[in-house]
Amino acid sequence: MEKKLALEHLKLITLNSQGLLQSTPFGTGKTAVLNAVEHLGYIQIDTLSMVERAHHHTLWTRIPDFQTDYLEELVEDRKVFEYWFHAASYLPMQDFRYVLPQMLTIKRGESRYYNADPKVMEYVIDTIRNEGPKRARDFENESHKAGSWWNWKPAKLALERLFMQGDLMISGRSGMQKTYDLAERVLPSFIDTTEPTPLEFAEYLVKTNLRAYGLTTVKQITHLRKGNDLKKNVNTILKTMLDKGEISQVKIEGLSSAFIRNDVFEKTFDLKDSNIHLLSPFDNSIIHRDRIRQIFDFDFRLECYTPKEKRQYGYFCLPILYGDQFIGRVDCKAHRKEKKLEIIHLHIENNTLDIELWLKPFAETIKRFAVFNGCESLTLTKVSPSKLNTSVKKNCPD
C-alpha cells in the first residue's frame, strides 16, 4: 500500500542520509573518510581545480577535520580503490566484486571503448610485473629512447585498458598522477572476487542508493546504466524488499512514486538553520540534477562546459545549502600562488530569506573554505542582488 510523504520531510531524510545535517556524521579523521566512502558508495573524482578537487571537497563538506592525505592513505591501506561508478570514483574495497561485471565486459572486448594495441598492452604489463609500479609519465620517458617502436600515447591507452579490464589497479597517486600496479599485488587476499549475478548486482545498486539517499527511484538507481534486464532486476529486488517490509512505496506531493527505507520513514530530525554547506558540483547529494530540481526546487548545472557568453552564473559555481534549502550559488576561484580565494560572483536567489539569518554562517563557512584551499585571504568581486553587496563585503572582508 502506497504511503504519503510530505516534501519537507523528504528533504530532511535525503540530507540526513547524505550526512549534511550533522557536524560530524561519519566521525573524525581518516576513519571518518572510510565511513563516508562506504556509506555513500562512491566519491567522484574530477580533475577541475578552480577550487580544491571534487573528491576532496565532497569529503571536507562532511568531515570538518578532513585532510587530503587521508584519502591517499586509504588507497595505500587497500581500504578504498579507484574505478568507475557512473564516473571515475573512489569506491570501498569491500564492494570490489561489484565492478567485475564492467571489467569483464571490457576484457571480453564487448565494449567499443578503451581500444589499445595488444602488443603494447603486453609490453606495459610485463614492464610493471618486472620493474614494479609505474606512472604514465614513466612510459613517456621510455618513448624517447633510440629505436623505440611505440610511443607514449599507445602506452597511455594500454594503461587505461588494462586498468578498466582489471589487470591493473591504481596503487597510489601524486596529485592527479596515477601509479599503476598489478591487480594481484594491490587487491587484498580476503576480498571476494566472485562475479555477482545480475540479480546480486541489482541488489547492490538498490541498497547502495537507499543507504546513501534514504529514498530512491528506479530511474536514480539505474542512472547512466543501460539495459532492460538491469531495470527488470532492480524492480524484482524492490518488490522483494517491499514484501519483506524493509522498504515502503511512497507518494510525494507533486512527484512520482518512490521507495523509502522503513527505518527512516518515521524518523525525526533536528534541523539547525545556521548550517551552511558550499557543495562541489560533483557532490553525491546533487549529482542527480532532476532529483534536486524536483525535491528542492533548485535548477543546477555546471557551466564550465558552456560557452562564456551563454553562462548564467559562472564557470564553476558551488551550490549554497542553508538548512534544508538551496539559497543560491557562488562562483569561486582559488588563486593559489597569491593564497587568495576570490568570490567571483555570489548569487543569492532566495529573496524572501532574511540576510541576518544566513550571512554570518556563510561568512564563517567561506573563510573555512578558503583555509581548506590553502588561501589566507578573501576577495569579493560581485554580489547579486547588488543591494546585498555592502553587507556581504562587511562580513567577508578582503
Per residue in 68-113, pLDDT (tens digit) is: 999 999 999 999 999 999 899 999 999 999 999 999 999 998 877 7
- What nine digits make up the cell of 242? 517491499
Average pLDDT (131-138) is: 92
Closest by CA to 15, choosing from 326, 276, 285, is 285
pLDDT score for 187: 97
Read off the pLDDT band of 150 (50, 70, 90). very low
Q: Residue 222: is its pLDDT beyond 60? A: yes
Closest by CA to 72, choosing from 171, 204, 160, 156, is 171
Pairing of strands 325-335, 276-278: unpaired
pLDDT score for 152: 54
Q: How far apart are CA 375 and CA 338, in angstroms?
A: 8
Give the SS3 label for residue 119.
helix
pLDDT score for 142: 52
User: Using the 8-state DSSP alphabet, how is residue 284 labeled?
Assistant: G
Average pLDDT (21-40) is: 96
Percent of the chain with pLDDT over 70: 95
- Report yes or no: 195 and 22 within 8 Å, Cβ to Cβ: no
Q: Residue 356: is its pLDDT beyond 70? A: yes
pLDDT score for 179: 95
Q: Residue 3: is its pLDDT beyond 90? A: no
Q: Which of 144-153, 165-174, 301-310 has the lowest mean pLDDT?
A: 144-153
Average pLDDT (366-371) is: 96
- Report yes or no: 324 and 11 within 8 Å, Cβ to Cβ: yes
The backbone region for 35, taken as left when phi is positive above 0, alpha when psi lies in -120 to 50, beta otherwise, is alpha
pLDDT score for 1: 60
Q: How far apart are CA 396 and CA 325, in angstroms?
A: 22
Total residues belonging to the chain: 398
Give the phi and the psi of residue 321 in degrees, each rounded to 5: -100, 120
Closest by CA to 260, choosing from 203, 216, 295, is 216
Helical residues (DSSP H) of the chain, grouped into ranges: 7-17, 29-40, 54-62, 68-76, 100-107, 118-131, 136-142, 152-164, 183-186, 198-213, 218-221, 228-243, 262-265, 289-296, 355-372, 389-395
pLDDT score for 272: 65
Average pLDDT in the chain: 91
pLDDT score for 147: 45
- Report yes or no: 71 and 170 within 8 Å, Cβ to Cβ: no
Higher pLDDT, 186 or 356: 186
- Helices 68-76/54-62 angle, 10° precision: 110
Q: Which of 13-17, 90-94, 193-197, 269-273 has the lowest mean pLDDT?
A: 269-273
